[in-house]
């Protein structure tokens, strides 16, 4: 790293603190007007407005409500994608904040409003420092992370035509979390988050009177056996060091207490931290359900809807991010996660195409007990806004370091 780049990195935290009030204001505007899914007209317009204020050209998505923008350095070079997801969740907010959601039943409960605000803050710092780096920063403002595959749609609409796809392109994202203390950075090389597939199993029996089950074919009893067998399957057929999780979270059957129904429907989720185990478990779920149904003479249909892939951090790039984080947040505030999280993320689609990493930014208010603090996806979650200064500085520093004159020795 050159001395100029090192000096910039060392002062970025201070620069981020200076603009933090503006970042907070943007975040609160977003928080009050949350939107769901792939079409985010208000959010998209706000992001475009803020980018125009910085003098940055931007492109709006055609099929989805995305925004992309470019910051070019003083000469050609490598490219880094910085990503912020923008959509909210279908929750009624109960935080009591004076800037609570004004859209009934919709809330930024996963912190995506902070992600957008932090990336806009980083864009401000990077645009003012474009004479210090070579190459290109691609700002990726993404809709539809909460189950709508927004990152995949952005790739299909040409994200990598702007960024390029090759060894000189990398990607970085932050995810805010109240699991960790404010201002901490938490990440790991390799699998960071799980894949997520949706399971629907329909058992078809033969209806009848509950007083004469021998004359019917009870699908509820078959479904119950399948649920238990799936749990045993995970413990006996899946390597404990390459884990899987199968949860049946909904069972629907019957209309009253004395009628055996025709069908029982189960819905659940399947999580893994490797694509190999993901394939194995899909096959095992089908085999277990079919085998038990066959044993009872019932019919069964198994549908597995593919969800997000495993989110896998590139090892060397994760080490690079960790080094940057130690400079920005301090060594005591940086931790390597001991294991992946079984939640899922569609940044995984980007990391399948280019090397990169995601890290978690701690934002638990000091007044909250770590054991009881409302977590992401709670309608009572409150993120500690000062943590966003660390996030702004991280985005900026990762980009500056990666695109620095001697960056090839750093990542």
DSSP H or E segment with residue 141? strand 136-142
* Residue finishing a domain among 268, 285, 305: 305
Q: Dump the DSSP string for 48-109.
A: HHHHHHTT--EEE-SSS--EEEEEE-SS---EEEEEEE---BS----S--TT--SSTT-B--
- Name the pLDDT band for 408 (thresholds 50, 70, 90): very low
178 and 228 co-located in one domain: no
153 and 166 co-located in one domain: yes
223 and 177 co-located in one domain: no
Count of CB atoms situated within 10 Å of the CB of 211:
8
What one-character DSSP code corresponds to residue 373? P
Q: Catalytic residue, from 153, 308, 349, 402: name it.
A: 308
Average of per-residue pLDDT across 18-46: 97
Active site residue 402: no
* Residue finishing a domain among 285, 305, 325: 305
Active site residue 336: no
Tell whether the model's pLDDT for residue 1 goes beyond 70.
no
24 and 169 co-located in one domain: yes
Instruction: Name every residue whose Cβ is closer than 8 Å to that of residue 386 and which is 6 or more positions away in sequence.
Output: 20, 182, 183
41 and 100 co-located in one domain: yes
224 and 301 co-located in one domain: yes
pTM of the entire predicted model: 0.91
- Name the pLDDT band for 10 (thresholds 50, 70, 90): low
149 and 19 co-located in one domain: yes
Q: Tell me the HSE value of 270 on the side-chain side, using a 13 A CA sphere.
A: 31
- Across the chain, mean pLDDT equals 94
Provide, rounded to the nearest whole percent, the portion of the chain with pLDDT above 90: 93
Map tokens 């309608």 to a residue: 379
Q: Exposure string (b/e) for 363-392, b if CB count within 10 Å is 16 or more?
A: bbbeebeeeebbebebeebbbbbebbbbbb
Tell whether the model's pLDDT for residue 405 goes beyond 80.
no
CATH of the domain at 43: 3.40.630.10
Distance spanning both ends of the chain, measured CA to CA: 11
- d(C-alpha 16, C-alpha 192), whole Å: 27
Tell whether the model's pLDDT for residue 88 goes beyond 60.
yes
CATH of the domain at 239: 3.30.70.360
What one-character DSSP code corresponds to residue 300? E
What one-character DSSP code corresponds to residue 306? -
pLDDT in tens, 92-103: 999 999 999 999
pLDDT score of 4 = 54
147 and 248 co-located in one domain: no
Map tokens 């475009």 to a residue: 48
288 and 330 co-located in one domain: no
- Name the pLDDT band for 7 (thresholds 50, 70, 90): low
Domain count, the chain: 2
42 and 156 co-located in one domain: yes
Phi, psi at residue 181, to the nearest 5°? -65, 155
Dihedral (CA of 312, 81, 145, 161) sign: negative
- Name the pLDDT band for 306 (thresholds 50, 70, 90): very high
Range of the domain at 56: 3-192+310-409
- d(C-alpha 15, C-alpha 134), whole Å: 21
pLDDT score of 8 = 57
Q: Catalytic residue, from 180, 349, 385, 402: name it.
A: 385
Sheet holding 58-60, edge to edge: 58-60, 67-72, 136-142, 79-85, 169-181, 355-364, 185-187, 334-336
* Residue finishing a domain among 290, 305, 320: 305
Reported residue count of the chain is 411
- d(C-alpha 108, C-alpha 378), whole Å: 10
272 and 377 co-located in one domain: no
DSSP H or E segment with residue 220? helix 219-237
Instruction: Collapse the DSSP code of 147 into the 3-class scheme (helix H, G, I; strand E, B; otherwise coil) and give the result.
Output: coil
Instruction: Name every residue whose Cβ is closer than 8 Å to that of residue 305 and which is 6 or more positions away in sequence.
Output: 197, 198, 199, 200
143 and 282 co-located in one domain: no
pLDDT score of 166 = 83
pLDDT in tens, 338-364: 999 999 999 999 999 999 999 999 999
- Name the pLDDT band for 404 (thresholds 50, 70, 90): confident
Asked if 204 and 262 count as a contact pair (C-beta separation under 8 A), the reply is yes
């Amino acid at each position: 790293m050159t001395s100029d780049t090192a000096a910039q990195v060392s002062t970025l935290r201070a620069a981020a603190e200076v603009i933090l009030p503006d970042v907070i204001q943007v975040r609160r505007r977003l928080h009050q007007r949350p939107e769901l899914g792939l079409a985010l007209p208000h959010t998209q317009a706000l992001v475009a407005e803020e980018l125009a204020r910085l003098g940055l050209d931007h492109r709006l998505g055609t099929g989805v409500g995305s925004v992309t923008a470019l910051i070019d350095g003083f000469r050609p070079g490598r490219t880094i994608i910085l990503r912020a997801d923008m959509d909210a969740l279908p929750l009624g907010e109960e935080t009591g904040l004076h800037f609570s959601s004004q859209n009934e039943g919709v809330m930024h409960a996963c912190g995506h409003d902070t992600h957008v605000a932090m990336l806009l803050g980083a864009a401000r710092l990077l645009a003012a420092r474009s004479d210090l780096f070579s190459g290109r920063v691609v700002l990726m403002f993404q809709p539809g992370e909460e189950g709508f595959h927004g990152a995949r749609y952005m790739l299909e609409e040409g994200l990598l035509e702007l960024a390029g796809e090759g060894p000189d392109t990398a990607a970085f994202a932050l995810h805010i979390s109240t699991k960790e203390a404010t201002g901490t950075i938490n990440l790991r090389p390799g699998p960071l988050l799980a894949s997520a597939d949706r399971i629907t199993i329909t058992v078809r029996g033969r209806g009848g009177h509950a007083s004469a089950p021998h004359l019917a074919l009870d699908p509820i009893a078959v479904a119950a056996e399948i649920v238990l067998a799936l749990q045993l399957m995970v413990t006996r057929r899946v390597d404990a060091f390459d884990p899987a999780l199968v949860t049946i979270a909904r069972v629907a059957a019957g209309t009253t207490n004395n009628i055996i129904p025709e069908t029982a429907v189960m819905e659940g989720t399947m999580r893994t931290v490797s694509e190999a185990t993901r394939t194995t478990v899909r096959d095992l779920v089908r085999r277990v359900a079919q085998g038990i149904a066959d044993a009872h003479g019932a019919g069964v249909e198994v549908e597995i809807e593919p969800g997000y892939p495993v989110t896998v951090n590139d090892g060397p790039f994760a080490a690079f991010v960790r080094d940057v984080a130690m400079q920005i947040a301090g060594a005591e505030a940086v931790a390597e996660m001991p294991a992946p999280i079984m939640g899922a993320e569609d940044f995984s689609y980007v990391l399948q195409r280019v090397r990169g990493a995601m890290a978690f930014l701690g934002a638990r208010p000091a007044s909250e007990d770590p054991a009881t603090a409302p977590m992401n996806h709670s309608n009572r979650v409150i993120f500690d806004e000062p943590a966003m200064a660390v996030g702004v500085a991280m985005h900026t520093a990762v980009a500056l370091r990666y695109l620095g004159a001697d960056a090839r020795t750093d990542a």
